[in-house]
Structure 1
Amino acid sequence: MLHQTCDLGPIKGVTASIKATPTGCEAEFRLDGGVDSIILPEPGPSVRTDDLWKTTCFEIFWQPIGGTYYREFNLSPSGRWAAYDFDSFREGMRDAPVDAISLSTSMGSVDGRGELVLRASIATDLPAPAQVALNAIVEHRDGGLQFWALAFPPGKAEFHSEACRQVIIERD
């Protein structure tokens, strides 16, 4: 869902999926709409990079059920990524250990409408069962931002809120 404080923009819908793997997880994010009218970061090397959330970016928050600890992944269409661990809500932030993150992005549009798809394969220890959030930040060419999530807490768009973590992941 689009956060209530965001203006309607070129992106009309966001879908996302995630599944646990033996070595971590795989996720897919899809933007539908005027993808030619959004700002995308320049492609670059697949390296850990801070502040990816300041422009078009996708996020995963992974929290073991019953705990306060959680892990945040920022996944950029540029190929860059970030991973952070938190002890509790925005407390104790530090770089999270990650074995590997592989990102691929594809985009296509016709007559101003199209889609952007980011696929991520993340190799790291992810405890399960967990509650998970799948989020998107979309920057418009006019500088405006759209915030998308499965759910939001009351008030401002706050992706760190447990209210956003609406998917339950279990491992077989």
Structure 2
Amino acid sequence: MHPLLLHPDCAEGPVKAVSADIETTSGGCRARFRLQGDIAAIKVPPHAASARADHLWKTTCLEIFWQPHGGKSYREFNLSPSSRWASYDFDDYRLNSRDAAVDAIAISTSRTDSELVLEASIASDLPVPADIALTAIVEDAEGTIQYWALAFADGKPDFHNTTCRMITLENRL
């Protein structure tokens, strides 16, 4: 698991650590996110039927940014602990956002008082080699948002910035 960093402008909150990992599969990828801390003190969307939904990033949400190595276009996946998901394609930095083609996304979440784990299996055409960002948005009970990523560029949190893409996946499993 790769440790994610809390953005330096964010106050500490109930979640004390976030880690994530990703691997390619024959038909897409599989990812796992782990949040550790006082899980009861964060907003976790209630379970819902798995379906595409917009604006998941407005509360606790885990994300993957997938960019073909050397390319400008990229795909963003939003994964909610509710099992809702979204996927968007961009031609370049935040340019021409549109729904991305996805065959299926299966999300499972387990939760204790001190840990929330989200696992996602994504069936989609994902080119390799690829540069990957794993990110987390965590909202606490008072509505304060924390931003977590492998790395951040200077300035306010921006997961679309290529600085966040610290993992290179080379091969299909």
TM-score bin, normalised by smaller chain? over 0.9
Report percent identity of matched pairs. 57
CA drift at 1:36:
0.6
Amino acid at match of 1:120: A
1:6 matched to 2:10? yes
1:165 matched to 2:169? no
CA drift at 1:42:
1.6
Q: Which residue of structure 2 lines up, in the alignment, with residue 119 of structure 1? A: 119
Instruction: Note the 1:70-81 alignment, pairs <5 A.
Output: 70-81=74-85
- Aligned counterparts of 2:70 and 2:48: Cα–Cα separation in 1: 38
* Structure 2 residues without counterparts, runs of 5 or longer: none
Q: Deviations over 1:38-74 (max 9, x none)?
A: 0011211100000000000000000001110000000
Alignment partner of 2:47 out of 38, 43, 46: 43
Q: Deviations over 1:8-42 (max 9, x none)?
A: 00000000000000100000000000001000112
TM-score by length of 2: 0.96
Amino acid at match of 1:141: A
- 1:39 alignment partner, SS class: coil
Amino acid at match of 1:171: N
TM-score by length of 1: 0.97
* Structure 1 residues without counterparts, runs of 5 or longer: none
Runs of 4+, deviation exceeding 3 Å: none
Q: Which residue of structure 2 lines up, in the alignment, with residue 18 of structure 1? A: 22
- 1:36 alignment partner, SS class: helix
Q: Deviations over 1:151-170 (max 9, x none)?
A: 00100000000000000001
Q: Would you say how many aligned residue pairs link Structure 1 and Structure 2?
A: 168
- Aligned counterparts of 2:15 and 2:70: Cα–Cα separation in 1: 35
Amino acid at match of 2:116: L
Q: Which residue of structure 2 lines up, in the alignment, with residue 90 of structure 1? A: 94
- Aligned counterparts of 2:79 and 2:53: Cα–Cα separation in 1: 10
Q: Which residue of structure 2 lines up, in the alignment, with residue 151 of structure 1? A: 151
- Aligned counterparts of 2:166 and 2:11: Cα–Cα separation in 1: 24
Amino acid at match of 1:69: S
- 2:6 alignment partner, SS class: coil
Q: Which residue of structure 1 lines up, in the alignment, with residue 108 of structure 2? A: 104
The Cα RMSD (Å) is 0.5
